[in-house]
A and B are shown apart, each in its own frame.
Chain A
Amino acid sequence: MKRIISIIFLLLSSGFIIAQDDNIVEEPTVETFDDLNSFEEGVSDDELNIFGVLRNDSTVVRKNEQYSFNDILELRFISEKKSENTQFYADGRVYLFYGNDFPENESYEAKLIRAYVRYYFKNNEAELTSGKTYVNVGSNTLLNPFALNKNINFADKSYDKESQLAIELKYFPAELSEGGAFVIYDPAINNYKTGLFYQSNFNSFDAGFVYVRYGSDKKEKQLINNAYNKSGFYFKGDYFLTLKGSYCFHIADGNKYTNHEVEFGFDYSLYDSKIILDSLFYYNNKGSLESGSYIPVYDSFLKGKYYNYSNITYKYDEFYSYNASILMNLIDYSYISTISMSWVATQNSILYGSVNYIAGRDEDEFSQSQLGDISFLFRYEVKF
């Protein structure tokens, strides 16, 4: 009897195992972290990688009933090489200009947007970057008060800023924390900016602290005659919707100048994040309260006191997305509005079109007579 039961059990078991293994390939396992390098595919970090982007921007602007046409062809080369402890990165561009707003003798320009070497300290969880590089402090919002370069083209927010000559040390004391210090040199005005920052994560919020000191600015002496400091905090995280904000206090040495900047906003998405709503309020204490009396404010994006930036994006899929945005001066209610569409035409090419409409009278900050009332941008970009 025992023998019969054993045979039945053996048959059932072996049949089950045979059925399981039918047409199934058995894969080897990997056991050590070093072997994870074998998972890396596609473009390799270990080689000198060169990427290219060809971009053409055609714009038509209507200003005071006159139309102007301009075209910028941009050729971008990025080279990158990584080794175990170092990274080299360079982004150089050549621009060809054509159109009504470009003098005939200025038909091209070459720029080095970024070129840096970064060293990774393996045991100290730190990195040191030296060269022409972006120094990003504060949250990456449109009107980040801690931004070290506040020249923004509000009609085309996707343009790339030129980086700055800097040395930056970053330290990572925990998995979601980073601190750092930097020195930026601007040779055009023989000016230094130095700073410290620290950021960490608390209950789904990223929050941080920034301190920046500007050396006295030779070119802007009429505004600020002394060395200058700004400091404050920022946060971004989820509480029902996504909340983000910054507070920045400015003070010149000797207490001769003070200012406050505040940015607060939220974003939310609907329908599986296909529709994204984003709104930001911006306060600049030194900004003007009256239309027609706008004067430049040192280290500020704009000249007025209150602004709202709102944005709605509809992302249909990887191929199509649509966007509408408005930046409004809440003192004179002039605004820059943009409607745009982006279409991924092929694996490596994108078409982008936008229409800007500006509504403001002569004395307003965004005035039609100064900026034109309507403009069209058509962009074609190919990566290779």
Chain B
Amino acid sequence: MKKITILIAIVALFAITLNGVNSDYIITKVDSNQLFKTQAFSGKMIIENNNRTLTKQFYGYAVKKGEKSFIKFTNREDYGVKYLRIEDQLWIYFPDADDIMKIAGHMLKQGMMGSDISYEDMLETETISKDYDSSILGEVKIGSHFCYKVKLSSKHSKTKYSSQMMYVEKKTFIPIKIEQYAFGGRLIKIMTQSNIKKIGSRYVPYKAVVTDVRKKNSKTTVMFNKISYDLNIPDKVFSLQYLREK
């Protein structure tokens, strides 16, 4: 009888460990999927508005240390337009003028290349836990995915969103749906993430669809073709010289 009691206690302990997760644990796992020393990626961005579609191809690199990122657009219409972000500063190279323009900090909230994804969103390298407090609201099923429903509340006024509702897939800890709210409490964007692949020890969504609910019949889809993490990227990539040269 004593052995059975111990066995039940041990099984119960495992059950608590697996199911009794708290929001901090979930967000840490979400962050660990997104955290990297360096990152390289390529893909395309499809901007849809009513019946019109614009497709932009790009590739880029990012490093966490110093929060630096570089993106080059390679579709014919935008070929050679390049972005360099270092912390909160952004520079754009325009091939038509053969010149680099420093973009004002306040412009980081603008949609990148006119999409529903801002420069801040696209080039974000910060962890969620640094900017948001989290609380778990329950478990829900979205499609075939079992998810934790987590609410993120902004810790300070510098964040773009006052709160976010995140539906974090239990298996991979990928937020497969994120609702983003402005400081007035209004829902402004919904993002869904899919086509999840495993790279090393982390799970990565290769497709994201962002809908700005303030616009009718408008959405932006980002589809990555290749993503790689923690490779050796020289410092020179994140410089004015590389912005002109590459």
Contact = CB atoms under 8 A, between A and B. Distances in A.
A378 interface: no
Contacts of A30: 40, 228, 231
Contacts of B110: 269, 272-274, 315
18 contacts: A1-B3, A8-B11, A12-B18, A16-B18, A24-B196, A26-B198, A27-B204, A49-B79, A134-B99, A170-B244, A175-B236, A175-B239, A176-B86, A241-B104, A269-B109, A274-B110, A347-B55, A348-B77
Interface string B30-71: 000000000011111001010011110111110000000000
Interface stretch (A36-44, A63-71, A221-229, A366-374): A36-44
Interface in A252-308: 267-269, 272-274, 276
A146 to B, nearest CB: 13
A160 B99 CA distance: 13
B240 A24 contact: no
Interface residues of B, number: 83
Contact of A4 (B7, B42, B86, B172): B7
Contacts of B226: 38-39
B225 A42 contact: no
Interface stretch (B112-120, B124-132, B134-142, B147-155): B112-120
B228 A19 contact: no
Given A36-B61, A41-B74, A273-B107, 8 more contacts: A27-B198, A30-B40, A36-B40, A42-B79, A120-B245, A134-B99, A238-B104, A348-B77
Interface in A339-363: 344-348
A312 to B, nearest CB: 14
Contacts of B58: 41-42
B106 interface: yes
B111 A317 contact: yes
A29 interface: yes
Interface string B60-96: 1100000000001111110110000010110000001
B46 to A, nearest CB: 11
A27 B199 contact: yes
Contact of A383 (B77, B102, B106): B77
B171 interface: yes
A344 B115 CA distance: 13
A73 B235 CA distance: 45
Interface of B: 3, 6-7, 10-11, 14, 18, 40-44, 47, 49, 52-55, 57-61, 72-77, 79-80, 86, 88-89, 96-99, 101-102, 104-111, 113-116, 118, 171-172, 196-200, 203-204, 215, 218, 225-236, 238-241, 244-246
A19 B99 CA distance: 51
A177 interface: yes
A242 interface: yes
Interface of A: 1, 4-5, 8-9, 12, 16, 19-22, 24-27, 29-33, 35-36, 38-43, 45, 49, 51, 80, 87, 89, 114, 120, 125, 127, 133-134, 136, 140, 160, 170, 172, 174-178, 201, 204, 206, 236-238, 241-242, 267-269, 272-274, 276, 315, 317-319, 344-348, 383-384
B244 to A, nearest CB: 7
Of A9, A133, A176, A315, most B-chain CB atoms within 10 Å: A176
Nearest to A31: B231
Contacts of B79: 42-43, 49, 51
A367 B97 CA distance: 31
A332 B6 CA distance: 94
A134 B77 contact: no
A98 to B, nearest CB: 26
A259 B238 CA distance: 39
Contacts of A33: 231-234
A41 B42 contact: yes
Of B76, B215, B246, most A-chain CB atoms within 10 Å: B76
A276 B76 CA distance: 28
Contact of A175 (B14, B49, B240): B240
Given A1-B6, A4-B7, A204-B89, A39 B198 contact: no
A43 B102 contact: no
Given A24-B198, A30-B228, A269 B104 contact: yes
Contact of B233 (A36, A120, A241): A36
A41 B104 contact: no
A206 B89 CA distance: 10
The 9 A-B pairs with the shortest beta carbon distances in the complex, nearest first, are A318-B114, A42-B74, A273-B110, A242-B104, A42-B57, A172-B241, A175-B239, A30-B228, A238-B105
Contacts of A22: 171
A1 B236 CA distance: 60
Contacts of B116: 317
B14 A12 contact: yes
A38 to B, nearest CB: 7
A346 B102 CA distance: 28
Contact of B59 (A27, A39, A201, A267): A39
Contacts of A38: 226
Given A12-B14, A12-B18, A36-B231, A318 B97 contact: no
